[in-house]
A = this chain, B = another copy of it.
């Protein structure tokens, strides 16, 4: 933590800051520049609300020099984490594809889709049973019944399964039926849910919030890991910007940035971010090319009749074509698929 004083800050103002710090049991490191004085704090910063120093007289700025997340920070955990989900893994050396419908609608629908995505190379079946919808009048999901269909689909296909959870109740149900739980974008800073996900014992897919910075996202992962659950996978799914040609703006640069900042696996969702089936294939290839560990893709047996997110769902044929095209990319990047 560095405190930058204003030009011509008085000695009295500087002493007020250094006294406050030293009285809190920390040490001070003073650097007198030509224009400004800079005060470094040495010691355990949790003993002091350093942000409050901004209100001291003649203080210009507070500059944090270390990140608040430790467990998810590559600086302290240099080796890449590999997350096991059912009988597949997410991490270096693999390209893991999660595919399935936005919402579980019927058992028949889910089984048909499960077989199709498995045939094309997906290893994890996605399907929403608890749907967070902008309007209270939209379809909200089949809840536990949907989870039972997921279990059935797993039994018939051998696919691992993932389902979004939105409450403790949903987590408690999910633990009984699926292999991985997902925290959606709108709940990325629902800290109660993050803690409960951390305690669930299941691996967690943590989607990025629509307006979350990468550092806030890693702090959210920290909430889960701090509960003793290191099996967190990050999923970039687009951020909110001024551009409306796509539903959100897929921030693919987040993939190499995260590679640099964290040891956790990173996957990309080209379906929700773009909001249109037309853009899913090019953005899926781009995600693989910049070294994502996996993809989450919406596939539907009949997009025109989907109860949720039809416009962005791939048909079986389009999904089959895409995975075929992705294989040689994986070869170039040294990933099994």
Q: Which of B41, B55, B132, B290 contacts A304 (CB 8 A)?
A: B55
- Complexed CA–CA distance, A19 and B55 (Å): 36
Task: Indicate if the CB atoms of A69 and B243 lie closer than 8 Å.
Answer: no
Among A43-51, A80-88, A154-162, the one that faces the other chain is A43-51
- Complexed CA–CA distance, A336 and B252 (Å): 25
Task: Indicate if the CB atoms of B328 and A33 lie closer than 8 Å.
Answer: no
Residues of the B chain whose Cβ atoms lie less than 8 Å from the Cβ of A290? 282-283, 285-286
Task: Indicate if the CB atoms of A278 and B304 lie closer than 8 Å.
Answer: no
Of A56, A133, A167, A252, chain B has the most CB atoms within 10 Å of the CB of: A252
Q: Which of B35, B219, B253 contacts A66 (CB 8 A)?
A: B35
Residues of the B chain whose Cβ atoms lie less than 8 Å from the Cβ of A192? 166-167
- Complexed CA–CA distance, A288 and B332 (Å): 13
**A257-298 residues at the B interface, CB under 8 angstroms:** 257, 260-261, 273-274, 276-279, 282-283, 285-291
Task: Indicate if the CB atoms of A257 and B252 lie closer than 8 Å.
Answer: no
Task: Indicate if the CB atoms of A68 and B244 lie closer than 8 Å.
Answer: no
Residues of the B chain whose Cβ atoms lie less than 8 Å from the Cβ of A219? 134-136
What is the size, in residues, of chain A's interface with B at 8 Å between Cβ atoms? Answer: 106
Task: Indicate if the CB atoms of B187 and A190 lie closer than 8 Å.
Answer: yes
Q: How far is the CB of A35 from chain B (nearest CB, A)?
A: 6
Interface 0/1 of A22-52, CB less than 8 Å to B:
0000000101011110101111101001011
Q: Does A142 contact B (CB under 8 A)?
A: no
Residues of the B chain whose Cβ atoms lie less than 8 Å from the Cβ of A251? 241, 243, 249-250
- Complexed CA–CA distance, A192 and B130 (Å): 10
Given A134-B189, A241-B241, A241-B242, A56 contacting B304 (CB threshold 8 A):
yes
Q: How far is the CB of A152 from chain B (nearest CB, A)?
A: 25
Task: Using A134-B189, A239-B242 as known contacts, list a sample of 13 further A-B pairs with CB atoms less than 8 Å apart, ordered by residue number in A.
Answer: A33-B41, A36-B66, A51-B310, A55-B303, A68-B134, A214-B245, A215-B245, A243-B254, A252-B286, A253-B274, A286-B286, A328-B332, A329-B329
What are 10 A-B pairs at a CB distance below 8 A? A7-B66, A33-B42, A35-B66, A51-B311, A60-B65, A213-B245, A243-B254, A249-B253, A282-B291, A289-B289
